[in-house]
Chain A
């Protein structure tokens, strides 16, 4: 299909502009200068080298978690549970990172990340299995799995995996050989995330597996009619979504934190939902949204110090963007998935 600028594609841009406009009114109402605030936002988020580095690091994580949600959405699955998968992947990768000694970097990092992805895949795949075999809706099961995973990682961090010499609850530090290096100060994770986005896009465009997942996502009965195993695709979709979420957690540990504390991973999985919906579940289209939000996040504290505006402004802006950008899309998604009560249908038209 050719790239067309449709009304659908304009919605995210328009919503960002509207959000910034509303934000400007609020800033002015508080007696600050919107121009100065947005100037700080641009300089600290994108123009200064340190700001750009922080932005891209955050953007890489956001792209990855956005991809996790995107893969699910394309297969018709709403993986609300990315958060739990991120946590399990992060802890798993951290564990491999501090526990196994003597590996060279080029083996240690992939093994740690792969183990993170595996654990995320297990959690996601379990929800997929529940849906395929017992008909449990993934939104319900993944919400519950979020709580379960949060409790499990908490327990492990407080007991088996705890660094005893520290008063606060945390794991030991990952070894240097498991830490993703920066290239001239720029995060490698961002590059990996973009490559992964290109790969996911290719899978859905060119491979039969991607076509199967997408067909199941768009019309389950037609997929079954066409000989596609719907159950297999549901499990596979959740498995892949979970794997990417787990990888996201591992990447965050390896690149940013270096050790595991449950609260570090705050909203990564949920931010992924925002990013994926903003990019209309298109693996490439989520990249600009992730960079924008990454930039806003990394300029958050500078706004307070340099423009005197509360950092909550950023949260407000993001909420507004989400609201305007995704409300119609979400409504469409929910409408097409729910069996509303309709009057009996007649025949043809």
Chain B
């Protein structure tokens, strides 16, 4: 067997964390190796070390038997390594062609030859079956296509090893299947693939071998045939994880949220939600499935009073909710787990305690006649940190000091502890580790069981399927179908999400 990549005894520390601790692994020619692990396990650090973006403290990296110097990206590239990063590295205002050729532009004499570049991009895209429009401007494209551009960029040079860092996080099921197919084709042609993901289903579907990292250490290696999803999850987290959410049947009650003929524009002034109507009952979880960018964000913001509604009404328990008044909507009993916790959900430079009362700081008992009461706040914060298992030395620490999963727990704790009729949860587990996902899912189910209506908006089809009592599929600013959650068919929903009706 030809060993393509060999990592031995690699270690890397950042101030305060050992991101990689004595890791050894190899990838053979034509093999797909899945690198699995929770957030912060050290996966990105490891592959960045291979690509020369991170300088390891010790250990060796060899590619096709030749050892690679630390932190030498040029050497990695010249040895045939291509990498698709977790965070896209595209220039939004440039076209697809410009982005793909960036860094190694075809030229005639001293001038750039756009014609040759365009032709090259068209051929590249044909060869790999990844369709893109060479002239589109990147910022206008959906994330799924942006991902394709990243992959094409990596495939442009003949490569022997392709590294993919969480490439599927924002794709539709169809797009994921396509990507897995591309990976299989590459492997069949002899390319080694090192594939990072959180998603166990993908690992089971495509990997030849699985390597699991936890807290910077390699904790196990296995193959899909030797284990199952539960087994992989357990290796990742180090304890038993219940993947299937344990929930009884819904006891749906009165309508707590109704949206009637609502139209909403996005920030650029284009209609994002069109003539939208929906009813949510007390005691049910209504999942809104859909590829991101189909109006979910605008829908959620308009319901919560954060974005102007051009037409239509929103009623909470029969009472009309005001337009553009988040405070009032919140007081009516609507809590909101925002999609972008860093931007909307938290003030990074405030303490955890202040963040836990971010939308109640002006209410009793946290303030009386405009004067804040820190004793009450601190007692409340202490209780929530404990109850929601927010991992921090103190609630006085800044929110920015928390990891992604714990930041999300702060938001969830704040939003689910209040007296509520409606919970609007947008992408509640994005970028959150498996253990926290389990916890957040249970919290949403228990909010449902105490009589709240839960509107769950998620691009993660598995999340929708495991939590929802009813599923609405959103495409192009509209609901294209509503199905019962029981026995929903993921292939069918995936097609609806992609805008196919038949």
A219 at the interface (CB under 8 A from B): yes
Interchain CA distance A341-B90 in the complex, whole Å: 11
CA distance A226 to B340 in the complex (A): 14
Residues of B at under 8 Å CB distance from A? 39, 85-93, 138-139, 146, 166, 169-170, 306, 325-328, 330, 336, 338, 340, 343-351, 354, 358-359, 361-362, 367, 370-372, 396, 404, 430-432
User: A212 vs B350: C-alpha distance in the bound complex, in angstroms?
Assistant: 12
B146 & A344 in contact (Cβ 8 Å cutoff) = yes
- Chain A residues closer than 8 Å to B358, beta-carbon distance: 215, 222, 225-226
Known contacts: A1-B351, A349-B39. The answer to whether A228 contacts B306 by CB under 8 A is no
Pick the 5 closest A-B CB pairs, nearest first: A348-B431, A227-B327, A346-B87, A226-B359, A225-B344
Can you name 6 extra interface pairs (CB under 8 A) apart from A224-B344, A229-B327, A347-B430? Answer: A1-B396, A207-B371, A208-B362, A211-B354, A211-B362, A348-B169
Q: Does A162 sit at the interface, judged by CB under 8 A?
A: no
Are A215 and B431 in touch, CB under 8 angstroms?
Answer: no
- In the complex, A343 has a CB within 8 A of chain B: yes
Given contacts A224-B306, A344-B92, A346-B87, contact A218 B359 (CB under 8 A): no
Interface secondary structure of B, over-half rule: loop
CB contact between A208 and one of B93, B325, B359, B372 (< 8 Å): that residue: B372
With A219-B348, A227-B327, A349-B431 in contact, do A344 and B39 touch (Cβ < 8 Å)?
Answer: no
- What B residues does A221 contact at CB under 8 A? 340, 343-344
Q: 6 pairs across A/B with beta carbons < 8 Å? A: A218-B350, A227-B326, A227-B327, A341-B92, A343-B91, A348-B169
Contact among B90, B327, B350 for A343, CB-based, below 8 A: B90
**Nearest CB in chain B: distance from A283 CB, A:** 17
| Number of residues from A at the complex interface, CB < 8 A | 27
Chain A residues within 8 Å of B372, by CB: 206-208, 211
Binding site for B on A (CB under 8 A): 1, 206-209, 211-212, 215, 218-219, 221-229, 341, 343-349
Q: Are B347 and A218 in contact (CB under 8 A)?
A: yes
CB nearest to A2 among chain B residues: B396
Option from A208, A219, A346 in Cβ contact (under 8 Å) with B169: A346
Contact of A222 (CB < 8 Å), options: B138, B146, B330, B343: B343
**B291: min CB distance to chain A, Å:** 13
Whether the Cβ atoms of A222 and B346 lie closer than 8 Å is yes
CB distance from A226 to the nearest CB of B (A): 4
Partner of B139, one of A207, A218, A225, A344: A344
B3 to chain A, nearest CB (A): 30
Cβ contact of A346, chosen from B85, B93, B336, B370, cutoff 8 A? B85
Cα-based distance from A99 to B90 in the complex (angstroms): 66
Say whether A225 contacts B348, CB under 8 Å: no
